[in-house]
């Protein structure tokens, strides 16, 4: 082998070594850029009697870079609507959104899924796979159809174990609250009709079932109240709020939880447009509610800030 050939082989070996050394760093960069940290996700699912489901996802992201965010839409969805910072997007552009850097990105996704429930004899099974990575705060709420319930003696009825089991008088509501959940994660609910198919008048049976659900709701409330000597107060982590939003929340707390929107201008020095924008963001996060009062609004604080 000549001297020239040895030099060529040595150069190729050095190039290969540099390539493999740089590969892990480039991989970390690509992954980190493509999957930003998600501050908050709320997933709401309403299961219908025809075994379809209406689903909505509220997402809050803050990023320093202008990057694409994947939506992870389920198969077979219909009636897709995507809103990014109050602007409705064309649902045909794809399954990703270009995030705005150094700004709070509010994303709302709604869609319907036909036949999202699997029928097994007298039971119905709804399964949801949650795949969003890097989530700091996650809330998942499922509403069963009216006159349907869960067998409390079957430990496989709800997986994983829910944070709350509630009722609004018509529907059973299952809710999970999680911090930094590991994904992908599978959620499963098995439920059944509370109305037996025995030929009785359906209207009378439905009325009886509604009354039964009300009693079940009262029983669940008393059960959770007795198991928790002090009712847990719903609080929001300060990391979800900007500095201006924290100012508004502190003022509301100091004012006893209610204040007129006009008064906020004099207390904060913010312009009317800025206050309106801040209140809109707080309303999306379900921290406040606004009620019309003459030419202004009454602002009510719904949740406290976790200190």
Structure tokens at 239: 């990391």
Evaluate if residue 230 carries a pLDDT over 60.
no
The confidence score (pLDDT) of residue 159 equals 93
Give the model's confidence band at 296: pLDDT under 50 very low, under 70 low, under 90 confident, else very high.
confident
The confidence score (pLDDT) of residue 232 equals 41
The confidence score (pLDDT) of residue 99 equals 92
Average pLDDT over residues 150-170: 85
Evaluate if residue 32 carries a pLDDT over 60.
no
Evaluate if residue 263 carries a pLDDT over 90.
no
Q: DSSP assignment, residue 37?
A: P
Architecture of domain 235-305: Orthogonal Bundle (1.10)
User: pLDDT > 90: what percent of the chain?
Assistant: 33
195 Cβ neighbours under 8 A, 6+ residues apart: 147, 202, 205, 206, 209
Structure tokens at 210: 């509604």
The confidence score (pLDDT) of residue 20 equals 54
The confidence score (pLDDT) of residue 283 equals 86
Architecture of domain 38-194: Sandwich (2.60)
The confidence score (pLDDT) of residue 25 equals 42
Evaluate if residue 31 carries a pLDDT over 50.
no
The confidence score (pLDDT) of residue 241 equals 80
The confidence score (pLDDT) of residue 302 equals 83
Give the model's confidence band at 255: pLDDT under 50 very low, under 70 low, under 90 confident, else very high.
confident
Which of residues 81 and 234 earns the better pLDDT score?
A: 81
Average pLDDT over residues 13-40: 58
**d(Cα 6, Cα 226) in Å, to the nearest integer?**
81
The confidence score (pLDDT) of residue 5 equals 62
The confidence score (pLDDT) of residue 27 equals 37
What b-and-e string marks burial along 18-51, b requiring 16 or more CB atoms within 10 Å of the CB? eeeeeeeeeeeeeeeeeebebbbbbbbbbbbeeb
The residues with which 58 forms a beta bridge, in sequence order, are 42, 108
Per-residue model confidence as pLDDT tens digits over 171-220: 999 999 999 999 999 999 999 988 765 545 555 666 677 888 887 878 77
Which of residues 50 and 169 earns the better pLDDT score?
A: 50
Which of residues 152 and 20 earns the better pLDDT score?
A: 152
DSSP H or E run through 30 = helix 3-34
Average pLDDT over residues 100-128: 92
Query: Average pLDDT, whole number, for the chain?
Result: 81
Task: Write down the pTM of the prediction.
Answer: 0.56
Q: Which ranges in the chain are annotated with CATH 1.10.10.10? A: 235-305
The confidence score (pLDDT) of residue 174 equals 93
The confidence score (pLDDT) of residue 221 equals 72
**d(Cα 219, Cα 43) in Å, to the nearest integer?**
26
Helix, coil or strand: residue 2: coil
Average pLDDT over residues 272-290: 87
Evaluate if residue 244 carries a pLDDT over 70.
yes
**d(Cα 198, Cα 247) in Å, to the nearest integer?**
60
């Amino acid at each position: 082998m000549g001297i020239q050939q040895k030099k060529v082989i040595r150069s190729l070996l050095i190039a290969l070594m540099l390539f493999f050394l740089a590969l892990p760093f480039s991989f970390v960069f690509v992954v980190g850029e493509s999957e930003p940290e998600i501050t908050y996700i709320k997933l709401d699912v309403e299961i219908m009697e025809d075994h379809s489901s209406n689903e909505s996802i509220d997402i809050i992201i803050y990023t320093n870079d202008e990057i694409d965010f994947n939506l992870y839409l389920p198969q077979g969805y219909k009636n897709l609507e995507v809103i990014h910072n109050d602007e409705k997007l064309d649902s045909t552009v794809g399954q990703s959104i270009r995030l705005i850097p150094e700004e709070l990105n509010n994303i709302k996704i709604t869609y319907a899924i036909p036949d999202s429930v699997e029928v097994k004899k007298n039971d119905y099974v709804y399964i949801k796979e949650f795949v969003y990575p890097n989530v700091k705060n996650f809330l998942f709420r499922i509403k069963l159809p009216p006159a349907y319930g869960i067998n409390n003696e079957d430990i496989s009825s709800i997986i994983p174990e829910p944070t709350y089991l509630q009722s609004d008088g018509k529907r059973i509501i299952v809710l999970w609250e999680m911090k930094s959940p590991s994904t992908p994660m599978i959620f499963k609910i098995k439920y059944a009709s509370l109305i037996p198919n025995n030929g009785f008048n359906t209207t009378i049976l439905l009325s009886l079932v509604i009354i039964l659900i009300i009693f079940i709701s009262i029983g669940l409330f008393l059960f959770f109240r007795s198991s928790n000597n002090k009712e847990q107060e719903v609080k929001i982590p300060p990391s979800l709020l900007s500095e201006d939003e924290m100012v508004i929340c502190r003022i509301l707390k100091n004012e006893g939880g209610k204040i007129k929107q006009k008064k906020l201008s004099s207390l904060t020095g913010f312009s009317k447009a800025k206050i309106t924008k801040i209140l809109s963001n707080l309303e999306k996060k379900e921290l406040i509610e606004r009620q019309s009062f003459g030419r202004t609004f009454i602002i009510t604080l719904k949740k406290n800030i976790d200190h």
